[in-house]
Amino acid sequence: MSVGVLAAPQTNEPIQPIEAYVVTDQAKVELGKQLFFDPRLSKSGFISCNSCHNLSMGGSDNLPTSIGHNWQEGPINSPTVLNSSLNLAQFWDGRAADLQEQAGGPIENPMEMGFTHNLAVGVLASIPQYVQSFKDVYNVDKITINEVTDAIAEFEETLVTPNAPFDQWLKGDEDALTADAKAGYKLFKEIGCTACHNGPAVGGNSFQKMGLFEEYVTNNPAEGVAGLTGNDLDRFKFKVPTLRNVELTYPYFHDGAYWNLDDAVDVMARLQLGRKLEKDQISQITAFMKSLTGDQPSFVIPMLPPSTPETPRPEPFAKVSN
């Protein structure tokens, strides 16, 4: 942590610091961690939650769209799991109200983990160590998908990234930010970015239409909230992504079309604000955004309970024909 010149904390900013998570149920968190890393929740036995939300890669997979069951390419960019507990809803279109509901989605999605809830629970129920863990944590003799997703969500709640240089600056450390980062933050506010990117997560707390001043051109089929409501007014309305750790979570936007953060800033300024920024202005805003990278989750990949002869065998990936 920086030990520079201390000043009064910045208390009237549109962005607030992220605080470290305090674990209150360590056993449930550890169970959720095992499940998060366990590929046996997928039909193939190869795909885990961490496959698309890699904790060593900013909580994403650094692909335009994720690769799922039978090598299918997903329809949308995988959002980071880091600080996802701060979102008002989950998924780009907000179709899951919370992390627990979100955790159940990929398991039964045929393009992602390709399984069913019943079969995934059946796998866990065939593994004695999991049966005992669920009994110890939830006091149940029979595992259900409710306990599985609750445990995963409990682990994901811990995946916050405090102590970013920007947070240190907010708390009064004047030397925590470079001159370019300070100038970038000032500009970030002046041109209106904080209308959408605000709060502790610097986003994640509203849905906005992409392409207010210019149309966003993409071949990606995702329609945003319109895919749920059927209302054309909701087309291209997506949850505003968090900018926390954004330098790690490339490529950017729902279609993963832009790999360079400078390019993403330029596109957003033009499409959402009607502003054509100079190159040095873009560099300053990018410097500010990089100051939002906080402490990454510290973890050891857990030892997974061993399968037994009774554990259902995974389906192999389909052979790719020439």
Question: How do residues 5-53 score in pLDDT, each as one tens digit?
Answer: 667 777 799 999 999 999 999 999 999 999 999 999 999 999 999 999 9
Per-residue model confidence (pLDDT) at position 140: 98
The pTM (predicted TM-score) of the whole model is 0.94
Assign 282 to helix, strand or coil.
Answer: helix
Tokens 């207010």 belong to residue: 212
Q: What is the pLDDT of residue 8?
A: 74
Q: Which residues are catalytic?
A: 112
Q: Which residues of the chain have pLDDT under 50?
A: 2, 318-322
Measured CA to CA, the distance from residue 282 to residue 91 in angstroms comes to 28
How far is it, in rounded angstroms, from Cα 242 to Cα 153? Answer: 18
Contacts of 208 (CB under 8 A, 6+ apart): 196, 237, 238, 240, 272
How is residue 170 written in tokens? 């907010």
